[in-house]
Amino acid sequence: MTKLFCALGLHPNLKLVILSSLPDPIQVAVNQALQTRNRDILQITIGELQQEVFIALEDICNRREIFKDYLHGDKIIDKACDDSYLKHKCTKDQFCDCHTKKMKYFKRHSFPRNTSRRKKRVKPQWRYLKKKKRKSIKSDHCFICNQKWHFSKNCPKNKQAKKMAQMIRQSGIKIQKEDDIESVCSIEDKPSNSTICAIPFQFPIYSKPITIIAFIDTGAAETIMNPDVLPPEWWKPHKNEDINPTKASHQGMNPDHLLLAKQECQELQQQDLIEPSDSQWACEAFYVNKRSEQIRGKLILVINYQPLNYFLQNDKFPLPNKDLLFSSLAKARVFSKFDLKVGFWKLGILPDDRLKTGFCIPNRHFQWKVMPFGLKIAPSLFQKVMIKVFHPLMKNALVYIDDILLYSRDEESHAELLEDFKSLVHKYGIMLSERKMLINKSEIEFLGMDIKDGRYSPGPHIAQKLLKFPSKNLSFKQTQQFVGIVNYLRNFIPKVSKYLNLLTKILKKNPPLWSSSQTRAVQRLKELTKDLPPLQILADGKRIL
Instruction: For the chain, list the domains and their CATH numbers.
Output: 2-78 (no CATH), 255-453 (3.30.70.270), 457-536 (3.30.70.270)
Q: Which residue has the higher pLDDT, 235 or 305?
A: 305
| pLDDT score, position 103 | 46
| pLDDT score, position 312 | 81
Q: What is d(CA 346, CA 356) in angstroms, rounded to the nearest whole number?
A: 18
3-state SS string for 263-302: HHHHHHHHCCCEEECCCCCCEEEEEECCHHHHHHCCCEEE
pLDDT band at 471 (very low <50, low <70, confident <90, very high): confident
Q: 62 phi and psi, to 5 degrees? A: -65, -40
**Least confident stretch, 147-156, 193-202, 290-299, 440-449:** 193-202
Across 50-59, 138-147, 176-185, 242-251, which has the greatest mean pLDDT? Answer: 50-59
CA-closest candidate to residue 384, choices 406, 371, 401: 401
Q: If you average pLDDT over residues 42-51, what whole number do you get?
A: 79
| pLDDT score, position 178 | 52
Pair 151, 174: CB distance under 8 Å: no
**Least confident stretch, 77-91, 266-280, 282-296:** 77-91
Q: Which residue has the higher pLDDT, 295 or 80?
A: 295
Cα→Cα distances 322→327, 387, 484, Å: 9, 16, 15
| pLDDT score, position 50 | 80
Q: In sequence order, what are the beta bridge partners of 397?
A: 406
Q: If you average pLDDT over residues 373-386, what whole number do you get?
A: 86
| pLDDT score, position 432 | 86
CA-closest candidate to residue 19, choices 9, 40, 36, 37: 40
**Least confident stretch, 139-143, 220-224, 420-424:** 220-224
Residue 111, SS3? coil
Q: Which residues are catalytic?
A: 217
Helical ranges in 195-290 per DSSP H:
255-270
Question: Kindly report the CA angle at 39 between 37 and 43, in degrees rounded to 5?
Answer: 150
CA-closest candidate to residue 297, choices 432, 436, 468, 400: 436
Residue 327, SS3? helix
Crossing angle for the helix pair 476-488 and 496-504, to the nearest 10 degrees: 160
Cα→Cα distances 305→308, 341, 519, Å: 5, 21, 36
Residue 76 has pLDDT above 80, yes or no: no
Q: What is d(CA 341, CA 462) in angstroms, rounded to the nearest whole number?
A: 24
Q: What is d(CA 172, CA 69) in angstroms, rounded to the nearest whole number?
A: 12
**Least confident stretch, 61-65, 281-285, 422-426:** 61-65
| pLDDT score, position 175 | 55
**Least confident stretch, 238-242, 348-352, 443-447, 510-514:** 238-242
Q: Which residue has the higher pLDDT, 491 or 4?
A: 491
Residue 403 has pLDDT above 50, yes or no: yes
Q: If you average pLDDT over residues 59-80, what whole number do you get?
A: 64
DSSP 8-state class, residue 454: T
Pair 456, 449: CB distance under 8 Å: yes
Cα→Cα distances 527→466, 474, 478, 521, Å: 10, 17, 18, 10
pLDDT band at 328 (very low <50, low <70, confident <90, very high): confident
Pair 57, 145: CB distance under 8 Å: no
Amino acid identity at 503? L
Question: Kindly report the CA angle at 516 between 511 and 518, in degrees rounded to 5?
Answer: 55
**Least confident stretch, 60-74, 183-197, 394-408, 441-455:** 183-197
DSSP 8-state class, residue 345: G
Residue 131 has pLDDT above 60, yes or no: no
Q: 299 phi and psi, to 5 degrees? A: -75, 150
| pLDDT score, position 188 | 53
| pLDDT score, position 402 | 85
- The tens digit of pLDDT for each residue in 340-368 reads 887 788 788 888 888 888 888 888 889 98
| pLDDT score, position 498 | 86
CB-based contacts of 433: which residues, under 8 Å, 6+ apart? 296, 338, 339, 340, 341
Q: What is the mean pLDDT of the chain?
A: 73
pLDDT band at 294 (very low <50, low <70, confident <90, very high): low
**Least confident stretch, 209-213, 309-313, 436-440:** 209-213
Produce one character per residue of 172-191: b if its CB has 16 or more CB atoms within 10 Å, e if not: eeebeeeeebeebbbbeeee
- The tens digit of pLDDT for each residue in 231-254 reads 444 444 444 444 555 665 677 788
